[in-house]
Chain A
Amino acid sequence: MWSRMKQGLARAWNVLAKPSVHYSLGFLTLGGFVAGIIFWGGFNTALEAANTEEFCISCHEMRENVYVELQETIHWSNRSGVRATCSDCHVPHDWTYKIARKMQASKEVWGKIFGTINTPEKFEAKRRTLAEHEWARLKKNDSLECRNCHQFESMDFTAQSQRAAEQHSTALASGEKTCIDCHKGIAHHLPDMTGVPGWE
């Protein structure tokens, strides 16, 4: 089997290495260019489609658990009507990190196919693990997805409550803490918090 594969590879290399007989150089370069645009556009469109809320809640695991929980929170409904959707917090905006996250998400496809969290009981059993993944990600990137909207530089401490201003102007300002350290469970229900730092 190994030798057959090697043969096949060699044949393919021969075809690629030889100059084209039937197609002109212009056709190949321009055609490649156009095909590239279509491929790239299609790729990004597909990525964007997978970033929409409709896509996320097309699975009942999301629609019936985390999506319902989000609807009780300020990220769903608030005075100014700005709303965060799933990908705003769970998918990095920056391209490189986005691709990395999308590749990670292939594990979620596996989970969907094999029904890892397809009942409320299974979801509850996994809630802590899943939450820990997100806490770890946000801790590592200094709560980047929070900061995409909530910029520290634009925070008006005088408009915050005294307690909030105190914490934000000290622990957050010095970089000693990042958003997720204190703001866990703001968009979804908390898992069992036994042993989580700050929840003794």
Chain B
Amino acid sequence: MKKLLALFSLLAVFTLAAAEPQVANLRGPLDLTEEEEAPRMAREVNDDIRTDRDYPMAAPTIPHKIDGYQIDLKANKCLSCHNRQRVEESQAVMVSVTHFMNRDGNFLADVSPNRYFCTQCHASQLDVDPLIDNDFVSMDELFDRAAESH
């Protein structure tokens, strides 16, 4: 009996292994040993058009290329246009005043060190269709829905 059970379970394992992968994943329905052709590299959006923000504290996306921008202790390429002293000449958007506030809530003359690394929150965008549909609902839409239901 024990032997038979072992045999059956082994058989079950083999049949499962041979079956088509049923789990949906980003790779698509491909065998583990196969590799899908990689999609073309997408271009970085560079149109300088500001995008919508779904909530007030949302970090705005970067609407231009940031190829090779150096952001380290020695230099910050972003701030060479977006810093307070630079916006008059560059006519770029100044970094938000919250970035001048340190962790104790005091305003500094320069961008606070804990807000220095821009790309931690801000990202340039690629011109691609999302791999997975996004079902995020903005608060504005929630307000609308709530108003309708009342």
Contacts and interface: CB of A to CB of B under 8 A. Distances in A.
A191 B74 contact: yes
Nearest to A167: B90
Given A72-B68, A199-B80, A200-B85, A185 B75 contact: yes
Given A74-B68, A161-B64, A200-B83, A190 B48 contact: no
Of A162, A163, A193, chain B has the most CB atoms within 10 Å of the CB of A163
A190 B75 contact: yes
Size range of the chain A interface in the assembly = 10 to 19
A191 B74 CA distance: 6
Main secondary structure of the interface of B (DSSP, over half): loop
B110 to A, nearest CB: 9
B80 A198 contact: yes
A32 B147 CA distance: 100
B70 interface: yes
B73 to A, nearest CB: 8
Interface string A86-100: 000000000000000
B86 A198 contact: yes
Interface of A: 72-74, 161-163, 185-186, 189-193, 198-200
Nearest to A185: B70
Contacts of A199: 75, 79-80
Interface residues of B, number: 18
B5 to A, nearest CB: 60
A185 B77 CA distance: 9
Interface string B36-80: 000000000011100000000000000011011010011101011
A199 B89 CA distance: 12
A189 B64 contact: no
Contacts of A162: 47-48
23 contacts: A72-B68, A74-B67, A74-B68, A161-B46, A161-B64, A161-B65, A162-B48, A163-B64, A185-B70, A185-B77, A186-B68, A190-B70, A190-B74, A190-B75, A192-B73, A198-B80, A198-B86, A198-B89, A199-B75, A199-B79, A199-B80, A200-B83, A200-B86
A189 B69 CA distance: 10
Contacts of B89: 198
Main secondary structure of the interface of A (DSSP, over half): loop
B86 A192 contact: no
A198 B77 CA distance: 10
B48 A193 contact: no
Nearest to A161: B46
A162 B92 CA distance: 13
A16 B48 CA distance: 74
Contacts of A190: 70, 74-75, 77
Contacts of B67: 74
A193 B75 contact: yes
A199 B82 CA distance: 10
Contacts of B74: 189-193
Contact of B48 (A72, A74, A161, A191): A161
A198 B86 CA distance: 7
A72 B70 CA distance: 12
A17 to B, nearest CB: 62
